[in-house]
Amino acid sequence: GAGVSQSPSNKVTEKGKDVELRCDPISGHTALYWYRQSLGQGLEFLIYFQGNSAPDKSGLPSDRFSAERTGGSVSTLTIQRTQQEDSAVYFCASGTTGTGAQHQYFGPGTRLTVT
Amino acid sequence: QKEVEQNSGPLSVPEGAIASLNCTYSDRGSQSFFWYRQYSGKSPELIMSIYSNGDKEDGRFTAQLNKASQYVSLLIRDSQPSDSATYLCAVKRDYGQNFVFGPGTRLSVLP
């Protein structure tokens, strides 16, 4: 079946512009996560959606970052007034959260470059 | 103290040897533990999950968990050059909680 998809795969933007990154999770997965990974660094958790519960936004680095998940499926991560330090690969992952089945599957990522 | 710690490496082992990757975590309430492999320029992929103390084997991979010591490890037997990648340890406290990733250990298997 189809895996997690993300678009665009690459995005180059000028400092100060807003960007939107899209994630299409695996059908039926109730959990959706956003991470970012700067060059040579580990995965940094950003935000987590679980079903209809309020999202866990504890990882968002500033109020320039926001995300929404419509209809429990597609998610959009928005970065306003981008800064050069926002340059990273942004990964989306989806998963199930039943007991013993708490895996997450990653999309290919969106490489964001802020010039 | 970071929540999940790993040696950054690189860890170099000869082909055919056993590679041992270690991870420690600070949250005693952690219940689920995962190892991901990430090739350069690619997204992480799940290798193993472990939930109970002891060993769990899957092919050439063995995950070991010791909750009392807050320690989880991954052994790769008969290491191959194709195993060269960064290995990420992740822990999860409970249902409905997010994953916390370690910084990853870079493994290099030398032919």
With a cut of 80, say whether residue B6 has pLDDT above it.
yes
Beta strands in chain A (DSSP E): 5-7, 10-13, 19-24, 31-37, 44-50, 65-69, 75-79, 88-95, 104-106, 110-114
| pLDDT digits 0-9 by tens, A32-74 | 999 999 987 889 999 999 888 889 998 999 999 999 998 878 9
A61-113 residue pLDDT tens:
999 999 999 887 899 999 999 999 999 999 999 987 665 556 789 999 999 99
pLDDT of residue A101: 52
CA–CA distance, B5 with A70 (Å, rounded to integer): 35
Task: State which amino acid sits at residue B38.
Answer: Q
pLDDT of residue B8: 81
B3 vs B2, which has greater pLDDT?
A: B3
List, as ranges, residues 45-104 from B with C-beta within 8 Å of A.
45-46, 49, 51, 88, 92, 95-104
Q: Which residues of A touch B96 (CB under 8 A)?
A: 50, 53, 97
Chain A / chain B CB contacts < 8 angstroms: 46
